[in-house]
Protein backbone atom coordinates (compact mmCIF):
# COMPACT_ATOMS: atom_id res chain seq x y z
CA UNK A 1 0.00 0.00 0.00
CA UNK A 2 0.98 3.62 -0.46
CA UNK A 3 0.68 6.25 2.28
CA UNK A 4 1.26 9.89 1.33
CA UNK A 5 1.02 13.02 3.48
CA UNK A 6 2.19 16.59 2.86
CA UNK A 7 2.32 19.76 4.89
CA UNK A 8 3.42 23.37 4.51
CA UNK A 9 6.35 24.12 6.83
CA UNK A 10 6.86 27.74 7.86
CA UNK A 11 10.58 27.96 7.09
CA UNK A 12 12.80 28.06 4.00
CA UNK A 13 13.99 24.69 2.67
CA UNK A 14 17.62 25.22 3.77
CA UNK A 15 16.51 25.72 7.39
CA UNK A 16 14.21 22.67 7.21
CA UNK A 17 16.90 20.49 5.64
CA UNK A 18 19.43 21.58 8.26
CA UNK A 19 17.03 20.39 10.97
CA UNK A 20 16.22 16.99 9.44
CA UNK A 21 19.35 16.02 7.45
CA UNK A 22 21.05 14.01 10.21
CA UNK A 23 19.32 10.62 10.41
CA UNK A 24 19.78 10.52 14.19
CA UNK A 25 18.52 14.09 14.74
CA UNK A 26 14.86 13.11 14.63
CA UNK A 27 14.45 13.23 18.43
CA UNK A 28 15.16 16.97 18.28
CA UNK A 29 12.07 17.76 16.23
CA UNK A 30 9.71 14.76 16.37
CA UNK A 31 7.73 14.71 19.64
CA UNK A 32 7.03 10.97 19.32
CA UNK A 33 10.75 10.09 19.46
CA UNK A 34 12.39 10.28 22.88
CA UNK A 35 15.87 9.34 21.70
CA UNK A 36 17.70 8.44 18.52
CA UNK A 37 21.17 7.01 18.04
CA UNK A 38 23.17 5.50 15.26
CA UNK A 39 23.88 1.78 15.72
CA UNK A 40 26.16 1.65 12.68
CA UNK A 41 27.69 4.15 10.29
CA UNK A 42 27.12 7.89 10.37
CA UNK A 43 24.00 10.03 10.38
CA UNK A 44 24.29 10.84 6.67
CA UNK A 45 25.79 7.64 5.20
CA UNK A 46 23.52 5.24 3.31
CA UNK A 47 23.57 1.80 4.89
CA UNK A 48 23.70 3.23 8.41
CA UNK A 49 21.19 1.97 10.97
CA UNK A 50 19.43 4.14 13.55
CA UNK A 51 17.69 3.08 16.74
CA UNK A 52 14.63 5.10 17.81
CA UNK A 53 13.01 4.99 21.23
CA UNK A 54 9.35 6.03 20.96
CA UNK A 55 7.28 7.72 23.69
CA UNK A 56 5.07 4.64 24.07
CA UNK A 57 8.11 2.51 24.94
CA UNK A 58 8.46 0.82 21.56
CA UNK A 59 11.59 0.71 19.41
CA UNK A 60 12.10 1.28 15.69
CA UNK A 61 15.27 0.31 13.85
CA UNK A 62 15.70 1.79 10.39
CA UNK A 63 18.29 1.80 7.61
CA UNK A 64 19.20 4.98 5.75
CA UNK A 65 18.96 3.92 2.10
CA UNK A 66 19.56 7.23 0.31
CA UNK A 67 20.16 10.88 1.18
CA UNK A 68 20.38 13.83 -1.23
CA UNK A 69 21.52 17.27 -0.11
CA UNK A 70 20.84 18.62 -3.60
CA UNK A 71 17.25 17.35 -3.72
CA UNK A 72 16.52 17.59 0.04
CA UNK A 73 15.31 14.06 0.73
CA UNK A 74 16.20 10.87 2.50
CA UNK A 75 14.82 7.36 2.05
CA UNK A 76 14.85 4.67 4.71
CA UNK A 77 13.40 1.27 5.50
CA UNK A 78 12.18 -0.29 8.73
CA UNK A 79 14.03 -3.36 9.90
CA UNK A 80 12.32 -3.63 13.29
CA UNK A 81 9.16 -2.04 14.68
CA UNK A 82 5.90 -2.88 16.43
CA UNK A 83 3.94 -2.07 13.26
CA UNK A 84 2.43 -5.08 11.46
CA UNK A 85 4.01 -4.07 8.14
CA UNK A 86 6.47 -5.67 5.75
CA UNK A 87 8.77 -4.28 3.07
CA UNK A 88 8.36 -0.74 4.43
CA UNK A 89 10.30 1.92 2.49
CA UNK A 90 9.71 5.62 3.12
CA UNK A 91 10.92 8.91 1.68
CA UNK A 92 10.82 12.26 3.46
CA UNK A 93 11.24 15.06 0.90
CA UNK A 94 11.30 18.84 1.14
CA UNK A 95 10.46 21.20 -1.74
CA UNK A 96 11.01 24.97 -1.60
CA UNK A 97 7.98 27.22 -1.98
CA UNK A 98 9.89 30.19 -3.34
CA UNK A 99 7.03 32.69 -3.35
CA UNK A 100 6.55 32.54 0.41
CA UNK A 101 9.92 31.20 1.64
CA UNK A 102 8.12 28.16 3.03
CA UNK A 103 8.71 24.47 2.37
CA UNK A 104 6.44 21.67 1.26
CA UNK A 105 7.17 18.63 3.41
CA UNK A 106 6.24 15.34 1.75
CA UNK A 107 6.43 12.05 3.63
CA UNK A 108 5.37 8.87 1.93
CA UNK A 109 5.87 5.14 2.10
CA UNK A 110 5.06 1.88 0.43
CA UNK A 111 4.67 -1.30 2.44
CA UNK A 112 2.72 -4.51 2.71
CA UNK A 113 0.29 -5.37 5.47
CA UNK A 114 -2.73 -7.61 5.90
CA UNK A 115 -5.68 -6.21 3.97
CA UNK A 116 -7.85 -5.87 7.06
CA UNK A 117 -5.18 -3.58 8.62
CA UNK A 118 -4.81 -1.18 5.68
CA UNK A 119 -7.10 1.57 7.01
CA UNK A 120 -5.56 1.37 10.47
CA UNK A 121 -2.00 1.46 9.08
CA UNK A 122 -2.87 4.42 6.83
CA UNK A 123 -4.10 6.31 9.89
CA UNK A 124 -1.19 5.34 12.14
CA UNK A 125 1.57 5.86 9.58
CA UNK A 126 0.03 8.78 7.71
CA UNK A 127 -1.64 10.78 10.43
CA UNK A 128 0.07 9.85 13.69
CA UNK A 129 3.63 9.36 12.42
CA UNK A 130 3.88 11.60 9.34
CA UNK A 131 1.53 14.49 10.16
CA UNK A 132 2.44 14.28 13.85
CA UNK A 133 6.13 14.35 13.00
CA UNK A 134 5.86 17.22 10.52
CA UNK A 135 3.71 19.21 12.97
CA UNK A 136 6.47 18.75 15.54
CA UNK A 137 9.06 19.78 12.94
CA UNK A 138 7.10 22.94 12.15
CA UNK A 139 6.93 23.83 15.85
CA UNK A 140 10.66 23.13 16.22
CA UNK A 141 11.45 25.40 13.26
CA UNK A 142 9.40 28.25 14.73
CA UNK A 143 11.56 28.08 17.87
CA UNK A 144 14.85 28.33 15.93
State pLDDT tens for residues 29-50. Answer: 999 999 999 999 999 999 999 9
Total domain count for the chain?
A: 1
pLDDT at residue 81, rounded to an integer: 97
Q: Which helix (H) or strand (E) holds 26?
A: helix 26-29
pLDDT at residue 143, rounded to an integer: 87
Nearest to 60 by CA among 28, 91, 34, 96: 34
Range of the domain at 81: 2-143
- How remote is the C-alpha of 50 from its chain's centroid? 12
In this structure, are residues 137 and 29 in contact, taking their beta carbons and an 8 Å threshold?
yes
Q: Which helix (H) or strand (E) holds 20?
A: helix 13-20
Q: Which residues of the chain have pLDDT under 70?
A: 144
Nearest to 26 by CA among 65, 71, 62, 79: 62
pTM for this prediction = 0.95
Rounded CA gap, 47 and 65, in Å?
6
Q: What is the CATH number of the domain that holds 55?
A: 3.30.530.20
Amino acid sequence: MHVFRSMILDAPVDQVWSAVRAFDGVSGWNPAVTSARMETGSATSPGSIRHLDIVDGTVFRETLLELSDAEHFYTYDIIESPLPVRNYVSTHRFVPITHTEQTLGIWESRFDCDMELENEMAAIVGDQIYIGGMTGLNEFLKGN
